[in-house]
Amino acid sequence: MGAPVREWKDGIEARVRALAAVPYLVELPAQDIQALAREARLLRAGKGKILFEEGTPCRGLYVIAAGRVRVTKLSPGGREQVLHAEREGALGEGPLFDGGLYPASAQAAEPSAVLFLPRETVLAWCRRRPEMAIGIARVLAQRVRRLASLAEDLSLREVGQRLAAYLARAADDGRPVSGGIEFVLAETNQEIAAQIGTVRELVSRRLGVLRREGLIRTSGRRILIPDLERLRARADVL
């Protein structure tokens, strides 16, 4: 998990650690990663800052050094759908090779530090290190599968199932306690709604339903899951 931006100090070593969290960069020779670290431009993004916007030309690659960034799309009616949220790794690979437009927007979900590599720089490195281009293609293929899974969730599962699946995934970062697995919801109900394709009011109602069914217990934003397998069954993810 990325360090809070207030604790992140810029420097070559810190930049190398951020770049090394990117799957297609970590296997490059150390001197290459250091060279990329020197070429990168540091961006400080406050919460809500747009890094790139859907429908605008691709400028380059964004590597998250600290904080959290959400990738979203807007419906014609203005409803936001979160495609994914990341604390490390890179964003913006999609249109790098064809020079097309960004298919989605990226926004800082909290104060963040991001390393920016211009498109021309990334393409030059891909020519120099073809394994880097192959690695980008592999990451894009993984994202296609993840988006296909999201499309399946939105079209085939009702809101309660999608919320149960969201909580089951969040429990992966929870801690075992007496009576189950406990974690704190980092996102607001509005942010959760944007991720599971609904509205805040329905998230609140479905949390109440899950409580009444005994699948979760809540204290503020703290969630206790007594039986994770039962919650997963409710989500129909077994």
Q: What is the pLDDT of residues 31-60, one digit of tens each?
A: 999 999 999 999 999 999 999 999 999 999
Q: Where are the domains of the chain?
A: 5-155, 158-235
Q: Is the pLDDT of residue 191 over 60?
A: yes
* Contact (CB, 8 A) for 8 and 66: yes
Q: Is the pLDDT of residue 105 over 80?
A: yes
pLDDT classification of 98: cutoffs 50, 70, 90? confident
Strand partners, 219: 222
pLDDT digits (tens, 9 = 90+) for 154-179: 666 788 888 998 899 888 889 999 89
The Cα 99–Cα 118 span in angstroms is 12
106 exposed, middle or buried (CB, 10 Å; 0-12, 13-18, 19+)?
buried
Spatial CB neighbours of 178, under 8 Å, sequence gap ≥ 6: none
* Contact (CB, 8 A) for 73 and 10: no
Please give the CATH number for the structural domain made up of 158-235. 1.10.10.10
The Cα 148–Cα 156 span in angstroms is 12
Tokens 């211009």, residue? 118
Decide yes or no: CATH 3.30.360.10 for domain 5-155.
no
Is the pTM higher than 0.75? The answer reads no
